[in-house]
């Protein structure tokens, strides 16, 4: 028979044996199944462990404490069983494949609970570098056998192609004593293009004759009223002076004359992707703003039935999109620009202009979008653009640096800041001299801050067409 002394000595070690017995399974669960105890363990086992210490001085209560420990273990084990197998939880991601840079993009996660338990989940989607989710994490409760939607918005801080491969979960047990970390596959591809929503905004404002709201001026094209093209149905916003009353009376329907403007003209963009375009403003590089403006002007030119081409370069020519017209050409321009980024290399203007001269011999508007910060680059830009005068119509789009203008406009009496402001003012004077030198040699110059480049660039194009400079 077991002696009483041995039993009493064994009961003294009961709390430590229970502690080891409880820790061993939790370590196995954490390593093998990524299941971890929560803080509620402390609420349950903390008082029991404290009371268990009384067995050291009061062995008579050991039996009661043992029963409490058994009940607590049963509760925890039963709660553990409410965590379903990962295969019983399914997820699908629905979203549009194409997004615009720095614009909210709607995403919906569709969750299916195929288990027999109601689950409380913390959901977080995959977020590759360059994407930010709002909100980054959400909590949702899914009843057994039901489906639920988790909507959120993604915002891209850079262009390019992103792979969203997984969805991450924290599954809480029914009583909250356990939490299980799950990862479910959900592969989706997101292509982030330059801002395309501005194109839809332009189209809407153009239909309602409100382009002045985005800074586009109305330009009267010389000789437009003499170039009759065809008759068509009246649309809201058409000029009443263009109504053909004879045709309206004959057709019993308002009919207007459509006049033909000069078309089949050519515009080629040369976008610098070198070190001078690596500066950022509000999280976007100068190249991002350049592509946004390029796409807007391309859309306007294609609507005018002109041909548009694109050349991206830095220390070499990266992409060249030949001149072509038609609405479908926008897709080629978008595809050539969505994954092109600035790099810390010296731009080779000679290679870019040589490539352009070899592929485009007919007269075109050549729009160079770049930045000048030193005399060497300024001289190169001046030489190559002025050499185009006569054969082509050169246009230089210069992007301003907010920091330099801020330093020059808001000087401080502090010595270090004052010297910095003086240097910034001297640089702006030099920059203005470069612009005037180019203008005297026949180069059209658009000088604007990055976020304000689109409107003056479109206005310059419309003015050139109005004056028949092409």
pLDDT in tens, 177-199: 999 999 999 999 998 887 766 66
Find the DSSP H helices in 208-278.
245-251
Residue 4: pLDDT over 90: no
Region of 324 on the Ramachandran plot (φ > 0 left; ψ -120 to 50 alpha; else beta): beta
Walk across the sheet containing 89-95 and list its strands: 89-95, 104-113, 147-156, 131-134
Give the least confident one: 49-53, 75-79, 378-382: 49-53
Q: Is the dihedral of CA 234, 238, 244, 248 positive or negative?
A: positive
Residue 173 lies in a domain: yes
Whether 12 has a pLDDT exceeding 70, the answer reads no
User: Is 223 a residue whose pLDDT tops 50?
Assistant: no
Within 8 A by CB and 6+ apart from 230, the residues are 257, 258
For the cut 50, the answer to whether the pLDDT of residue 312 exceeds it is yes
Per-residue confidence at 336, pLDDT binned at 50, 70, 90? confident
Mean pLDDT of 286-309: 89
Phi/psi of residue 119, each to 5°? Answer: -115, 140
Rounded to whole angstroms, how far apart are CA atoms 81 and 118?
A: 12
pLDDT at residue 41 tops 70:
yes
CATH code of 110's domain: 2.60.40.10
State whether 75 and 135 are in the same domain.
Answer: no
Same-domain check for residues 299 and 417 = yes
Please compute the mean of the pLDDT values over residues 296-306 and round it to a whole number: 87
Same domain, 114 and 229: no
Are 34 and 157 in a shared domain? no
Is the predicted pLDDT of residue 259 greater than 90, yes or no?
Answer: no
174 assigned to some structural domain: yes
pTM: 0.69
Residues 74, 429: Cα–Cα separation, whole Å: 81
Same domain, 188 and 231: no
Confidence at residue 21, expressed as pLDDT on a 0 to 100 scale: 62
Residues 123-133 pLDDT 10s: 999 989 889 99
Whether residue 352 is predicted with pLDDT greater than 70 in this model: the reply is: yes
| pLDDT tier for residue 339 given thresholds of 50, 70 and 90 | confident
Are 408 and 274 in the same domain? Answer: yes
Number of residues that this document lists for the chain: 470
Q: Which pLDDT tens digit goes with each residue over 150-185?
A: 999 999 888 888 999 999 999 999 999 999 999 999
Coil, helix or strand at residue 327:
coil
Position 56 scores a pLDDT of 59
Residue 206, domain member (yes or no): no
Residues 159 and 299 in one domain: no
- Please list, residue by residue across 121-135, b when 16 or more beta carbons sit within 10 angstroms of its beta carbon and e when fewer do: bebbbbeeeebebee
Instruction: Quote the DSSP letter at residue 87.
Output: G
Question: Which whole-number Å values give the CA distances from 325 to 93, 264, 301, 388, in the listed order?
Answer: 36, 8, 9, 23
pLDDT for 408:
83
Specify which of 23-27, 91-95, 298-302, 460-464 reaches the highest per-range mean pLDDT: 91-95
**For the chain, what is the domain count?**
4
Same domain, 61 and 97: no
Do 367 and 443 share a domain, yes or no? yes
Please report the pLDDT score of residue 364 as a whole number: 92
Residue 116, pLDDT > 80, answer yes
pLDDT at 166: 94
Q: Given a cut of 80, is residue 325 above it in pLDDT? A: yes
User: What pLDDT does 99 receive?
Assistant: 87
Confidence of residue 60 (pLDDT cuts 50, 70, 90): low
Residue 175 domain boundaries = 86-193
pLDDT given for residue 225 in this prediction: 45
Same-domain pairing of 64 and 93: no
Mean pLDDT of the 79-91 span: 88
CATH number at residue 299: 3.40.50.410
251 and 370 housed in the same domain? no
Q: Which among 191, 197, 187, 185 is positioned nearest to 131, based on CA atoms?
A: 191
Round to whole Å and give the CA distance between 295 and 274: 19
How high is the mean pLDDT of the chain? 83
- How do 138-142 and 119-125 pair as beta strands? antiparallel
Which of these ranges, 232-236, 306-310, 321-325, has the smallest mean pLDDT?
232-236
Mean pLDDT of 39-56: 71
- For 82-111, what is the mean pLDDT? 90
Residues 121, 148: Cα–Cα separation, whole Å:
11
Task: Give yes or no: residues 164 and 310 share one domain.
Answer: no
Q: Residue 53 — very low, low, confident or very high, per pLDDT cuts 50/70/90?
A: low
Task: Tell me the percentage of the chain whose pLDDT exceeds 70.
Answer: 82
């Amino acid at each position: 028979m077991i002696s009483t002394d041995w039993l009493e000595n064994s009961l003294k070690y009961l709390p430590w044996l229970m502690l080891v017995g409880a820790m061993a399974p939790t370590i196995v669960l954490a390593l093998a199944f990524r299941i971890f105890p929560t803080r509620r363990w402390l609420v349950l086992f903390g008082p029991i462990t404290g009371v268990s210490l009384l067995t050291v001085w009061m062995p008579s209560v050991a039996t009661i404490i043992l029963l409490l420990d058994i009940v607590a273990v049963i509760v925890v084990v039963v709660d553990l069983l409410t965590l379903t197998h990962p295969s019983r939880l399914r997820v699908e991601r629905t979203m549009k494949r194409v997004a615009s840079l720095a614009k909210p993009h709607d995403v919906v996660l569709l969750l299916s609970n195929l288990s027999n338990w109601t689950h409380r989940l913390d959901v977080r989607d995959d977020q590759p570098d360059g994407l930010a989710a709002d909100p980054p994490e959400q909590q949702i409760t899914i009843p057994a056998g039901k489906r639920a939607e988790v909507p959120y918005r993604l915002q891209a801080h850079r262009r390019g192609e992103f792979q969203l491969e997984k969805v991450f979960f924290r599954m809480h047990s029914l009583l909250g004593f356990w939490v299980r970390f799950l990862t479910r596959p959900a592969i989706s591809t997101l292509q982030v293009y330059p801002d395309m929503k501005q194109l839809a905004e332009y189209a809407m404002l153009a239909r309602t004759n409100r382009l002045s709201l985005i800074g586009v001026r109305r330009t009267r094209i010389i000789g437009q009223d003499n170039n009759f093209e065809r008759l068509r149905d009246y649309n809201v916003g058409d000029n009443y002076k263009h109504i053909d009353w004879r045709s309206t009376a004959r057709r019993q329907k308002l009919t207007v004359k459509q006049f033909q403007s000069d078309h089949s003209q050519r515009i080629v963009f040369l976008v610098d992707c070198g070190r001078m375009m690596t500066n950022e403003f509000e999280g976007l590089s100068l190249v991002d703003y350049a592509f946004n403006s390029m796409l807007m002007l391309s859309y306007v030119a294609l609507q005018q039935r002109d041909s548009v081409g694109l050349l991206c370069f830095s220390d070499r020519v990266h992409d060249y999109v030949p001149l072509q017209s038609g609405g479908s050409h926008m897709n080629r321009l978008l595809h050539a620009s969505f994954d092109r980024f600035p790099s810390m290399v010296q731009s080779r203007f000679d290679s870019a202009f040589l490539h352009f001269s070899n592929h485009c011999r007919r007269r075109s508007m050549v729009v160079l979008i770049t930045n000048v910060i030193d005399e060497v680059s300024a001289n190169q830009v001046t030489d190559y653009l002025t050499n185009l005068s006569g054969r082509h119509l050169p246009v230089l789009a210069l992007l301003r640096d907010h920091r330099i203008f801020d330093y020059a406009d808001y000087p401080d009496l502090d010595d270090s800041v004052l010297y910095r402001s003086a240097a910034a003012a001297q640089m702006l004077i030099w920059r203005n001299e470069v612009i005037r030198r180019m203008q005297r040699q026949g180069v059209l110059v658009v000088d604007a801050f990055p976020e304000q480049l689109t409107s003056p660039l479109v206005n310059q194009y419309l003015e050139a067409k109005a004056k028949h400079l092409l």
